[in-house]
Amino acid sequence: MVLTKEQQAILDGAEGEVKARVMETVVRYGELFGAQRLVPVTSKYNHLVTSFGLKMMTPVFDLMQQLIDAGAVSGQKFSVDPRPLDKNVPANFLQKLIFNKFMYSKQDSYEAQLKSLGLIDDNAFTCTCYMDEVGNKPQRGEVLSWAESSAVVYANSVLGARCNRNSGIIDIMGSIAGYVPEFGLLTDEGRKATWIVEIKTSKKPEAQLLGSAIGMKVMEEVPYIKGLDKWLGTELDDAACTYLKDFGAATASNGAVGLYHVENLTPDAKELGESLIKEGARVYVIDDAELKRVYDSYPVIWKNADATPKLCFMGCPHMSLEQLKSWTDRLDKALAETGNKKVVIPTVFTSSPAVIAEFEKTDFAAKLKNMGVIVSYICPLMYMNNPLCGKMPVITSSNKLRTYTTARYYTDDEILAQITGGNCK
Ligand code: F3S
């Protein structure tokens, strides 16, 4: 790798020993992927994936402390993934004991470290940092040092920023160094599609199911999706962005997609069209039968497949304001039809603290609460990682949560029917 004079000086210790080691980490990381040079991180804010004070992460806490003690903090403030705990989310005595004593016992001290390192504020705990209410929304072409997979794929695809699927810790290293290695999704060539996906469904495909199908097929490659603009339109309005948020998270977790292009909709595809497709790209056709095949292929790993669900999680990734409002309306209508006043399965909607604050200013908030739904800023995955929670029959419309935990996936309509006591297939 060829470094500039400034980069070499940092590596040689001009800004201290700790920063030199940070730079060395970034350089070695780049060399592993064949990067020829480092490029500046240009976004206003960074985003970190590691938000949880898990007891066993002592090396991470030590590393953070070394950075703080050496003053090797980034010029960039940052948001971070959601908190793992919220007392409003139902948990029994034993589950709470495990959360507080054995799992996230370092949460308070870790959050103090995050503040010292440059956390924006308490509202910045969310994976959807790019929502307007949160404010960490990169511009097209900006270079990022993020790692949260659902945020990386959104930033690359919907916002047109440039970021690789980095790992935790590498995200903060790039931000402190001020540089990231140039390879993969940072390059024009790496952003070209090696798959063409043709959507031929008879109705708007479920975002999380479509994302799952594409993720499992293309894995870490870049798909160019045709036919989705028929259902989403050609403008990135709230509804399209919300759809792509959920769709992208499923592509990134069921596969390892870091960037997708939607014809006539996402910024790179709008500007460059089919010139983004590499010669020899393979074709994947998705119709109703293919979506059904993917849905039917999900294993049910509950101990008793017929168990009555004990909890429902919606909002992984965190829900948008529009999603919270539209789900309030949908629930209201569905409950009126079933004659129930409240949801019949304990239900948690998760969203960012900033979006929740906006939601609470509306009449929808009281309505949703009266229907028995809990709104929380938690990360459902962190909740499900508690072995006692993992044993519970939990349902979700998140394909990311399905992939990483024992939670069972249902489509939005099926979830609605289940939690309101209506008929489900
Ligand atoms: Fe966000 Fe946690 Fe899901 S970080 S995408 S709510 S697993």
268: pLDDT confidence band, cut at 50, 70 and 90? very high
Of 10-19, 50-59, 166-175, least confident by mean pLDDT is: 50-59
Mutation to probe ligand 1, out of 48, 350, 379 (largest number of atoms < 8 A from CB): 379
pLDDT at 73: 85
The mean pLDDT of the chain is 97
pLDDT at 425: 43
Q: Measuring from atom 2 of ligand 1, which residue has the nearest CA? A: 379
**Where, residue-wise, is CATH 3.30.499.10 in the chain?**
311-420
For residue 159, the SS3 value is: coil
Mutation to probe ligand 1, out of 320, 381, 403 (largest number of atoms < 8 A from CB): 381
Atom of ligand 1 nearest to the CA of 404: 7
Atom of ligand 1 nearest to the CA of 128: 1
Tell me the pLDDT tens digit for each residue of 67-107: 999 998 888 999 999 999 999 999 999 999 999 999 999 99
Tell me the pLDDT tens digit for each residue of 1-33: 999 999 999 999 999 999 999 999 999 999 999
pLDDT at 424 over 70: no
Q: Is the link from the previous residue into 317 a cis peptide, with omega within 30 of 0?
A: yes
Atom of ligand 1 nearest to the CA of 148: 4
Q: Measuring from atom 4 of ligand 1, which residue has the nearest CA? A: 127
pLDDT at 173 over 90: yes
- Cα of 86 vs centre of ligand 1, distance in Å, is 14
Measured distance CA(391)–CA(407) in Å, rounded: 9
pLDDT at 321: 97
**Looking at residues 341-358, what average pLDDT do you find?**
98
- Determine the number of helices (DSSP H) and then strands (DSSP E) in the chain: 19, 13
Return the structure tokens found at 176: 């402190």
Tell me the pLDDT tens digit for each residue of 176-203: 999 999 999 999 999 999 999 999 999 9
Measured distance CA(412)–CA(165) in Å, rounded: 28
pLDDT at 55 over 90: no
Q: Is the CB of 249 under 6 A from ligand 1?
A: yes
Cβ neighbours around 421 below 10 Å, total:
17
| Angle, helix 353-360 to helix 321-338, in steps of 10 degrees | 60
Atom of ligand 1 nearest to the CA of 378: 6
The CATH number of domain 5-186, selected from 3.40.1350, 2.70.98, 3.30.160, 3.30.499: 3.30.499
Q: Is the CB of 400 under 6 A from ligand 1?
A: yes
Q: Is the CB of 81 under 6 A from ligand 1?
A: yes
Tell me the pLDDT tens digit for each residue of 210-227: 999 999 999 999 999 999
**43 — phi, psi (to 5°)?**
-75, 155
pLDDT at 75: 84
pLDDT at 422: 81
Q: Are strands 179-181 and 38-40 parallel, antiparallel or unpaired?
A: antiparallel
Specify whether domain 311-420 bears CATH 3.30.499.10.
yes
